[in-house]
Chains A and B, each alone.
Chain A
Amino acid sequence: MRGMRRLTVISLLILGALIFLFPFYWMVMVSLGKPEDFMKAPPRLFPSSLNLQNYTEALRYIPFFRYFFNTLWITCMVTLGSVVSSSLVAYGFSKIKWPGREVLFLITLGTMMLPPAVTVIPLYMEFKAFGWLGSFKPLWVPAWFGSAWAIFLLRQFYRSIPDELLDSAKIDGAGHFQIWKTIILPMSRAPLAVVALFQFVWSWKNFFGPLIFLRDQNMYTLSLGLAFFQSRHGGTEWHLLMAAATLTTIPTIIIFFLASRYLIEGIKITSGFKG
Chain B
Amino acid sequence: MRKLLILLMTFLVVLAFSRSVVEIWVTWTGDEYRIIEDLVKKFNQSQEEYTAKVISVSNLAVKFTTALAAGNPPDLVHANDQYIAPIVAMGGFMSLDDMNVNLEQFQDFVVESVKYNGHIYAFPIKVSIFGIWWNKDVFKKAGLDPDKGPQSLEELVEYSKKLTKYDEEGNLVRWGFDPLVPQWNWPYVWVYHFGGKLIDPETGNITIDSPEAVKTFKWVLDYLKNFGMEKVEKFRGGYGPYWSASNPFVSGKLAIFYDGDWVTHVFRLYAPDAELGFAPLPSIDGKKRCYVEVDVFSIPVGAKNVEGAKKFLEFLSKPENLIKLSGGQLSPLKEEYTPSSFFKKRRYSRKIMEVLKESEMFFCPKFPLWHLYLEEMDNAVEEMQAGTMSVEEALKTIKRNLERRMRKGK
CA distance A150 to B241 in the complex (A): 44
Stretch at the interface among B58-66, B89-97, B352-360: B58-66
B239 and chain A: residue at smallest CB distance: A235
Identity of the chain B residue whose Cβ is nearest the Cβ of A229 in the assembled complex: B58
A236 near B72 with CB under 8 A, answer: no
Contacts of B244 in A (CB 8 A): 233-235, 237
Is B71 part of the binding interface, using a Cβ–Cβ cutoff of 8 Å?
Answer: yes
- Contacts A228-B58, A231-B58, A236-B241 given: A133-B30 contact, CB under 8 Å? no
A128 at the interface (CB under 8 A from B): yes
Closest B residue to A41 using CB positions: B238
**Quick check: B59 and A235 within 8 Å, CB to CB?**
no
Quick check: B240 and A233 within 8 Å, CB to CB? no
The proximity string for B residues 62-81 relative to A, scoring 1 for CB distances below 8 Å and 0 otherwise, is: 01001101111000000000
From 223 to 242 in chain A, residues with beta carbon under 8 angstroms from any chain B beta carbon are: 228, 231-237
Q: Are B72 and A235 in contact (CB under 8 A)?
A: no
Q: B370 to nearest A CB, angstroms?
A: 21
A215 in contact with B66 (CB, 8 Å): yes
Measured between alpha carbons, how far is A252 from B184 in the docked complex, in Å?
A: 36
Secondary structure type dominating chain B contacts? loop
CA–CA, A228 and B58, complex, Å: 7
A133 and B58 in contact (CB under 8 A), knowing A233-B241, A233-B243, A235-B240? no
Q: Are A234 and B243 in contact (CB under 8 A)?
A: yes
Q: Which of A215, A216, A217, A234 gathers most chain B CB within 10 Å?
A: A234
A215 nearest in chain B by CB position? B67
Assembled-state Cα–Cα distance A179/B396 (Å): 70
B72 touches A215 (CB 8 A): yes
Known contacts A232-B29, A232-B58, A233-B30; decide if A133 and B243 are in contact (CB<8 Å): no
Known contacts A233-B241, A235-B242; decide if A133 and B29 are in contact (CB<8 Å): no
- A246, B240: Cα distance in complex, Å: 22
For the complex, is B57 an interface residue (Cβ under 8 Å from A)?
Answer: yes
When A133-B70, A215-B66 are in contact, do A237 and B55 touch as well, CB less than 8 Å?
no
- Structural contact, A235 and B241, CB atoms closer than 8 A: yes
Judged by a CB distance under 8 angstroms, whether A47 is at the interface is no
| Contact between chains at A217 and B70 (CB < 8 Å) | no
Instruction: Quote the shortest CB–CB distance from B66 to chain A (angstroms).
Output: 7
Whether, in the assembled complex, A92 has its beta carbon less than 8 Å from a beta carbon of chain B, the answer is: no
- Closest chain A CB from B56 CB (angstroms): 8
User: Which residue of chain A lies nearest to B243 when distances are taken between CB atoms in the complex?
Assistant: A234
Complex CA gap A43/B57 in Å reads 33
By secondary structure, the A interface counts as loop
CB distance from A53 to the nearest CB of B (A): 18
Whole-angstrom CA separation of A80 from B14 in the bound complex: 39
Contact B58 A217 (CB under 8 A): yes
Alpha-carbon distance between A212 and B58 when the two chains are bound, in angstroms: 15
Q: Pick the residue among A39, A133, A231 that contacts B72 (CB under 8 A).
A: A133
CA distance A237 to B29 in the complex (A): 15
Give the distance in Å from the alpha carbon of A134 to the alpha carbon of B240 in the complex: 33
Taking a contact as CB atoms under 8 Å apart, the answer to whether A128 and B67 are in contact is no
Closest partner residue, chain A, to B70 (CB atom): A133
Give the CA-CA distance A237 to B30 in the complex, in Å: 14
Complex Cα spacing A106 to B244, Å: 57
Q: How many Å lie between the Cα of A228 and that of B57 in the bound state?
A: 10
> What's the minimum C-beta distance from B384 to chain A, rounded to whole angstroms?
24
Q: How far is the CA of A233 from the CA of B30 in the complex (A)?
A: 8
Which residues of chain B come closer than 8 Å to A237, judged between CB atoms? 241, 244
Q: A216: nearest residue on chain B (CB-CB)?
A: B55
B198-253, CB < 8 A from A:
238-244, 246-247
Minimum Cβ distance to chain B for residue A266 (Å): 35
Q: For residue A128, which residues in chain B have a CB less than 8 angstroms away from its CB?
A: 69-71
Residues in chain B near residue A231, CB distance under 8 A: 58-59
Interface-centre pick from A216, A228, A236, A237 (highest chain B CB count, 10 A):
A216
Q: Decide: B243 and A228 in contact? CB cutoff 8 A.
A: no
**A162-190: which residues lie under 8 A (CB-CB) from chain B?**
none
The answer to whether A215 and B70 touch (CB under 8 A), given A233-B241, A235-B239, is yes
**What distance in Å separates the Cβ of A18 from its nearest Cβ neighbour in chain B?**
26
B172 shortest CB reach to chain A, Å: 12
Once the chains are docked, how many angstroms separate the CA of A217 from the CA of B241? 21
Q: 9 A-B Cβ contacts within 8 A?
A: A133-B71, A134-B72, A215-B67, A216-B55, A217-B57, A217-B58, A232-B58, A235-B240, A235-B243
**A contacts, CB < 8 Å to B:** 35, 39, 124, 128, 133-134, 212, 215-217, 228, 231-237
Tell me the B residues contacting A by CB distance below 8 Å.
29-30, 55-59, 63, 66-67, 69-72, 238-244, 246-247
The 10 closest A-B pairs by CB, nearest first: A235-B241, A234-B242, A133-B70, A232-B58, A228-B58, A234-B241, A231-B58, A134-B72, A234-B243, A233-B241
